Amino acid sequence: MSTFQQIIQDPKPVLIDFYATWCGPCKMMPPILTQLKEKMGENLRIIKIDVDKNPEVASKYQIRGVPTLMLMRESKVLWKQSGVQEVNVLKQTIEQHLEI
| Residues identified as active-site | 23, 26
The SS3 assignment for 3 reads coil
- Surface-to-core class of residue 69, CB atoms within 10 Å of its CB (0-12 exposed, 13-18 middle, 19+ buried): buried
- Number of helices (H) and strands (E), helices first, in the chain? 4, 4
